[in-house]
Amino acid sequence: MKIANNLLAISMLLCCGVGTLKSQSKPSQNISQQNENQIVYLFFKINKDTKGVEKISLYDKKIVKGKLKSIPAFGDKEALQNDFVVTLSDAQGNEIIKQSVEDPLNPEFESYGDTIERHKMSLQESEFSFRFPYSDNIKAIKIERINHSKKQVLFTQNF
């Protein structure tokens, strides 16, 4: 009788365990589908010559597996004076993603002592990066500098 009860208990555990394994296999398929998401990293160099003319060049592009948690919303009022606006567009020129990037030639840093102070540096050359979720629809990038009430185009490239 004890042997029959033990066999019944073991068979019940095995049946429930197989059901558990089957139910766990479905989420693992979803995880593998989520890992197919990709992030594109674009790496830029910016140089300012003696006349003050700025030149941006794309020196590296990497596509890695992953998913951005969020994409910041952009409004023209959110970009500060002299910041860059990066616009990604489709083949027809329709805007897909638009984000601001702090001016890499004039970074701000903080120093800590008795008080916290902010200082602005002025550089002749610098590097910056931009990341966005991969999409087959993205065909072009444009980088502009915001100056007072106008925008100055610094870089454009088709993919």
Query: pLDDT for 54-93, tens place per residue?
Result: 999 999 999 999 888 876 666 655 556 778 899 999 999 9
Is a pLDDT exceeding 80 seen at residue 10? Answer: no
Domain region containing 107: 37-158
User: Any residues with CB less than 8 A from the CB of 100 and at least 6 apart, and which?
Assistant: 74, 78, 79, 80, 83, 84, 85, 86
* CB-count burial class (<10 Å; 0-12, 13-18, 19+) for 63: exposed
Is a pLDDT exceeding 80 seen at residue 9? Answer: no
Residues 28, 64, single domain; the answer is no
pTM for the predicted model, two decimal places = 0.69
pLDDT band at 147 (very low <50, low <70, confident <90, very high): confident
Is a pLDDT exceeding 80 seen at residue 116? Answer: yes
Residues 31, 47, single domain; the answer is no
Number of domains in the chain: 2
Is a pLDDT exceeding 60 seen at residue 30? Answer: no
Three-state DSSP string of 62-82: EEEECCCCCCCCCCCCCCCCC
Residues 101, 154, single domain; the answer is yes
Higher pLDDT, 12 or 86: 86
pLDDT band at 50 (very low <50, low <70, confident <90, very high): confident
User: Any residues with CB less than 8 A from the CB of 54 and at least 6 apart, and which?
Assistant: 46, 47, 48, 105, 145, 154
d(CA 121, CA 134): 33
Is a pLDDT exceeding 50 seen at residue 25? Answer: no
User: H or E segment at 3?
Assistant: helix 2-35
Residues 77, 51, single domain; the answer is yes
Among 5-14, 28-37, 122-131, 141-150, name the most confident range. 122-131
Mean pLDDT for the chain overall: 78
CB contact burial 140-154 (16+ within 10 A = b; e otherwise): ebbbbbbeeeebeeb
What's residue 82's pLDDT? 78
